[in-house]
A and B are shown apart, each in its own frame.
Chain A
Amino acid sequence: MTAAGLSAALASKEVSAAEVTQAHLDRIAAVDGRVHAFLHVAADSALEQAATIDHRRRAGEPLSPLAGVPVAVKDVFTTVGLPTTCGSRILEGWHPPYDATIVQRLKQAGAVILGKTNMDEFAMGSSTENSAYGPSRNPWDLDRIPGGSSGGSSAAVAAYEAPLAIGTDTGGSIRQPAAVCGIVGTKPTYGGSSRYGVVAFASSLDTPGPFGRTVLDAALLHEAMSGYDPMDSTSIDAPVPPVVAAAREADVSGMRIGVVTELSGEGYQSGVLSRFAEAVELLESLGAKVTEVSCPHFRYALPAYYLIAPSECSSNLARFDAMRYGLRAGDDGTRDAEEVMALTREQGFGAEVKRRIILGTYALSSGYYDAYYGKAQQVRTLIIRDFDAAFGQVDVLVSPSTPTTAFGIGERADDPMAMYLADLCTIPSDLAGNAAISVPCGLAPEDGLPVGLQVMAPALADDRMYRVAAAAEAAFTQRWSHPLLAEAKGL
């Protein structure tokens, strides 16, 4: 059942929050042994929360739409009472003393937090294979990756373990997993959702966002979790764009849609390209005007990202030094603080994290800064200008969400460059800070695996892309005559 459906059923008291929560806990128990979406299932506290909601509803209290609806939370958000590991050994067992703002908002909305989901360590990766706790698996095919870094959240929703989930998107970590799992995932406008309590990977790129099985579900969660937060200096003080209303309108007639020339070609799986082309045709048949738009600097988005993100993360992850919390290794009384720090970080961090920290340290070093980090920030400006020029011609831009369908577990695990290519389509929006969504647009004929359509809108025009995504979804659902996920063979 969709979150929207559950919300209605709960509101009309057809079903209780306790029943809904229990049903999901049962589902988790049944399948998560194979999917491994969750790192921590908070059964007791979830049932408690559900009971409270039921009590308040019986008392006639007005409740928000998500009251009693279960949500899974990526383990990068701090949660009081639940562990927060960020998929890393260095934070194993860490219980933060404060809730992320978004977690607070979910609690205030009455959403029931089912647990914390698996992720690539510190949000670095596209497959969850970088998790210190083992990868999550794609419900479509358990030998394949569910995407990353928010792979756990995506798999949980795709496997019906949760109707909704939250994740973070820095280079594509919500949209790519959503695409390969056949669900909807949004990267809101940067600054549109609070980063307070989101363990930082790349501060100027990290964007918390929603997963849902439908566009409307994602929109409902988007609205509930987003908005200005005075605890986050980069938070935008403006109303949340009317994404739910837009998702309901789902009308693209007269809208100008731009296909980004640079986001296709070599490296893109043919089935992905063909499904994408069909999606574009579909949108045209719905009344949109489609043109091709060139964003010439998008070719440099990947290298720019892999300079900016590691640079910021090399600094953000310096705090993990064994002194105040987390793992402490090698403190046998003979070693000094620096040695203990170095041993702890050696043991506590995985290979990808180490690679990025070293890369970032390099890019920021005196003598290299201008040519690497500095240059990347200039490329970023050029990409923003490309977007600005493009949005001067069209209302939204479209592309595939990721060049291929879900690849096999182990296939790219030790080939960082190959892994990075998964972010090719999603990275430009992270660098520019505008909004982007991935919505399923079919299965690739060659492997029967989901393909995602990415829709990008200007910053603070998130509603625009929800409108287009919803229109596409409605048309596809009609064409397929069933939700895409019904075809998932994995479980």
Chain B
Amino acid sequence: MSITRDEVAHLARLSRIALSDAELDHLAPQLDQIITAVAQVQEVAAEGIPPTSHATGLTNVFRDDEPAPCLTPAEALGQAPAVEQQRFKVPRILGED
């Protein structure tokens, strides 16, 4: 087995997805199957092969430090679920300051 139901539950928590037990029952074996399949990459001998994170080969793409038009507060907040004092209103946050 490549991945257990508990590990899947843990990953779901890390990804902030509140999976139901039924979903967990359904997804865990599928994920196990998928992970077993993708683990195939480990068969490939890749000593000294550099990883590719960018296919284009571009480097040093910059922009000038010049202001560009931005959104109005109305546009920025227009699709927000809740707004107060021209800010995004969010449920209470637990955690570090």
Known contacts: A374-B51, A416-B30, A433-B55. The answer to whether A382 contacts B17 by CB under 8 A is no
Please determine whether A378 and B44 come into contact, CB atoms closer than 8 angstroms: yes
**Cβ of B14: which chain A residues have Cβ within 8 Å of it?**
361
A337 to B89, CA, bound (A): 10
Please determine whether B56 and A191 come into contact, CB atoms closer than 8 angstroms: yes
Q: Tell me if B78 is interfacial: C-beta within 8 Å of chain A.
A: yes
Please determine whether A358 and B15 come into contact, CB atoms closer than 8 angstroms: yes
Please determine whether A361 and B46 come into contact, CB atoms closer than 8 angstroms: no
Please determine whether B44 and A381 come into contact, CB atoms closer than 8 angstroms: no
A359 to B38, CA, bound (A): 10
A372 to B37, CA, bound (A): 11
What are the interface flags for A120-138 relative to B under an 8 Å C-beta threshold, 1 for contact and 0 otherwise? Answer: 0000000000000000000
A372 to B34, CA, bound (A): 12
A236 to B12, CA, bound (A): 37
A95 to B80, CA, bound (A): 11
Number of A interface residues at 8 Å Cβ cutoff, please give it: 67
A377 to B82, CA, bound (A): 41
Please determine whether A342 and B18 come into contact, CB atoms closer than 8 angstroms: yes
Please determine whether B42 and A331 come into contact, CB atoms closer than 8 angstroms: no
Known contacts: A342-B18, A346-B19, A378-B46. The answer to whether A337 contacts B31 by CB under 8 A is no
Please determine whether B94 and A338 come into contact, CB atoms closer than 8 angstroms: yes
Known contacts: A300-B40, A358-B11. The answer to whether A94 contacts B17 by CB under 8 A is no
Please determine whether A375 and B46 come into contact, CB atoms closer than 8 angstroms: yes
Between A and B, 22 residue pairs with Cβ closer than 8 Å are A190-B55, A204-B53, A234-B58, A300-B41, A303-B41, A325-B81, A326-B79, A337-B94, A345-B16, A349-B17, A359-B35, A361-B11, A361-B15, A372-B38, A375-B41, A377-B52, A378-B50, A380-B51, A381-B49, A382-B46, A384-B52, A416-B33
Q: Residues on B close to A: CB < 8 A?
A: 3, 7-8, 11-20, 23, 26-27, 30-31, 33-35, 37-44, 46, 49-56, 58, 61, 63, 71, 75-76, 78-82, 88, 90-94
